[in-house]
Structure formats: structure tokens, C-alpha cells
């Protein structure tokens, strides 16, 4: 299992290293490769501004999974030769449960839930906070378990260093869950007035009907799946019409 986990993480990290670079085949097929590359870079920059260091969260989750895979392989090899596990089993569990699964949820949720609900997260800064809180909590929990024999000897004010490190990891994990919840609340229940709009082109043959909720007679509306056209400009018979779509409908 450890070897399979390491192979999976290796493949996934190779794919992540390709992120941020427009594939050469796509760039070659584009009418203007330079423009396509610039547009892709602007898109990536906009994603970083909107979602914070979510990619770093994914990378840290993969690193904790890789560390857990190494512990699995080492423990398996020591048990094959008749010895006990080299690493503490609890450290392995927390490395995969909190380090891999919890951090992976914290990285995917701020991007996936707004995609379903159409809302926005509270702040990209909270994604950065989950990055530091989550990794610190895992480091204290796993590190205190791996260094338990040595840290149990060190005593500060009558309390062992092991108890201090292990105890601090719990509140940090709770702060991680609270931070993620606060960040996702606006995306789970988006406000009606928090609609987002984007510009798209409609073909010239689309028929428009009069908008009953618009004050101006020049504003028309037409339903398009779950989107609603609320305004149009620059109509041309050949290229159609540029419209603004309300994605909250």
C-alpha cells in the first residue's frame, strides 16, 4: 500500500509541476500562441487572487501523504524481517488523516463549492490561514509522536514537551475547521445581491423578448439554461450580440 501511495503521489506531483504552463500542443493549435499564453497566465493570476494559495495546500497534502507512504514502506520492511514497526502507527494515521485528507479537503472545498453554488468564498486570506494552521497542527501532532521518547524527558514547568506539543495540535486543528467553515459560509448560502456577471457572445439568430423588469425599453432578456441575459450591446448581424449573463439565475 505504501508503494502504491508513493507512485500515486509521484504521478500527481508531476502533473502539478505542469500547472501554470500552457501545453505546447495547445499553444501551437492556437491562432496566436502569444495571445493564448498571455490569456492563460492572466487566468492563472486571477485564480490565485480569488482562491489564495490553494495549490500550495494541495502540494502540502501530497507531501504529508508521501511521508505517510514512506512510513508505511519502512514499517512493512521491518515487520518482514521479524521486527516491530519502526515508526509509531499513530504518527502514520495522523499523517494520512489530518495531513493528507484534511488538508486536501481544505484545498478543494474553496474552489469546488463556489463552482456549484455560484457564490464566493469569504476571503483568499483565510485559505492562507488554513495552509499555516493545518500544516502546523499536523507537524505538532506527528512530530510529537515521532519524538515522544526524547520529548517526554524534557520538562517545562512540570509539563513534558511531548504533552505541550501534542496538546497544541488540538486547538490548531479546531482553528483550522473554524477557519474553513467561515470561509465557505458565503459560498454555501450566497446572498441574492451577490450575483456575478460575465460577458459572452450570442449568435444573431437568437430571438429576444421584452424584459418586464427593466426600466429601459432597449434592454431585452432571454433565458439560457440557468443564466439570464440582462443587457446587450454592440449588435451586429454577422457576429451576433455581446451580452452580460447573470450566472445566479
> Do residues 47 and 144 share a domain?
yes
Q: What is the pLDDT of residues 32-45, one digit of tens each?
A: 666 667 777 777 78
Instruction: Indicate whether 201 pLDDT > 50.
Output: no
Domain of residue 214 covers 197-246
Q: What's the Cα-to-Cα distance from 88 to each of 11, 61, 147, 187, rounded to whole Å?
A: 27, 20, 10, 39
- How much is the pTM? 0.68
**Which range is least confidently modeled, 62-71, 99-108, 228-237?**
228-237
Q: What is the pLDDT of residue 233?
A: 40
Q: What's the Cα-to-Cα distance from 136 to each of 5, 26, 106, 151, rounded to whole Å?
A: 23, 39, 14, 17
Q: Of 164, 188, 212, which one is at a domain's C-terminal end?
A: 188
Question: Hey, how many other C-beta atoms are within 10 angstroms of the C-beta on 93?
Answer: 16
- Please state, rounded to an integer, the average pLDDT across all residues of the chain: 76
**Which range is least confidently modeled, 128-142, 151-165, 225-239?**
225-239
Burial, 184: exposed, middle or buried (Cβ in 10 Å; 0-12, 13-18, 19+)?
buried
Q: What is the pLDDT of residue 232?
A: 40
pLDDT-derived band of residue 28, with 50, 70 and 90 as boundaries? low
> Do residues 163 and 225 share a domain?
no
Record the cell numbers describing residue 4, joined without a space: 502504491
Number of independent structural domains in the chain? 2
> Do residues 155 and 215 share a domain?
no
Q: What is the mean pLDDT of residues 224-244?
A: 41
Instruction: Indicate whether 174 pLDDT > 70.
Output: yes
Q: Which of 29-38, 109-118, 166-175 has the highest mean pLDDT?
A: 166-175
Q: Of 188, 205, 225, which one is at a domain's C-terminal end?
A: 188
Q: What's the Cα-to-Cα distance from 185 to each of 72, 112, 113, 133, 191, rounded to whole Å?
A: 37, 13, 10, 19, 11
Q: What is the pLDDT of residue 161?
A: 86
Quick one: what percent of the chain has pLDDT higher than 90? 37
Give the residue among 43, 55, 51 at the shortest CA–CA distance from 13.
55
* Residue written as grid cell 447573470: 246
> What is the end-to-end Cα distance of the chain in Å, rounded?
46
Q: What is the pLDDT of residues 45-75, one digit of tens each?
A: 888 888 889 989 999 999 999 999 999 999 9
Instruction: Indicate whether 88 pLDDT > 80.
Output: yes
Q: What is the pLDDT of residue 110?
A: 93
Question: Hey, how many other C-beta atoms are within 10 angstroms of the C-beta on 205?
Answer: 7
> Do residues 159 and 223 share a domain?
no
> Do residues 132 and 204 share a domain?
no
> Do residues 34 and 97 share a domain?
yes
Residue 177 vs residue 8, higher pLDDT: 177
Amino acid at each position: 500500500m505504501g508503494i502504491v501511495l508513493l507512485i500515486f503521489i509521484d504521478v500527481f506531483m508531476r502533473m502539478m509541476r505542469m500547472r501554470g504552463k500552457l501545453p505546447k500542443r495547445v499553444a501551437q493549435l492556437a491562432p496566436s500562441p502569444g495571445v493564448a499564453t498571455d490569456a492563460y497566465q492572466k487566468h492563472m493570476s486571477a485564480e490565485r487572487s480569488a482562491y489564495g494559495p490553494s495549490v500550495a495546500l494541495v502540494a502540502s497534502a501530497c507531501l504529508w501523504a508521501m511521508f505517510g507512504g514512506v512510513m508505511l514502506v519502512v514499517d512493512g520492511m521491518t515487520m518482514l524481517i521479524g521486527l516491530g514497526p519502526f515508526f509509531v502507527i499513530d504518527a502514520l494515521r495522523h499523517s494520512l488523516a489530518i495531513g493528507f485528507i484534511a488538508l486536501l479537503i481544505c484545498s478543494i472545498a474553496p474552489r469546488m463549492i463556489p463552482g456549484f453554488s455560484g457564490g464566493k468564498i469569504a476571503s483568499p486570506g483565510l485559505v492562507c490561514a488554513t495552509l499555516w494552521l493545518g500544516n502546523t497542527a499536523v507537524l505538532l501532532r506527528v512530530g510529537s509522536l515521532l519524538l515522544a521518547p526524547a520529548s517526554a524527558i524534557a520538562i517545562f514547568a512540570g509539563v513534558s514537551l511531548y504533552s505541550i506539543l501534542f496538546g497544541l495540535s488540538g486547538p490548531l486543528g479546531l482553528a483550522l475547521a473554524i477557519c474553513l467553515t467561515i470561509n465557505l459560509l458565503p459560498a454555501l448560502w450566497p446572498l441574492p445581491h451577490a450575483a456575478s456577471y460575465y460577458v459572452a457572445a450570442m449568435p444573431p439568430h437568437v430571438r429576444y423578448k421584452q424584459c418586464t423588469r427593466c426600466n429601459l425599453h432597449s434592454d431585452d432578456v432571454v433565458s439560457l439554461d440557468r443564466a439570464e441575459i440582462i443587457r446587450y450591446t454592440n449588435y451586429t448581424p454577422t457576429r451576433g450580440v455581446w451580452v452580460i449573463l447573470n450566472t445566479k439565475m
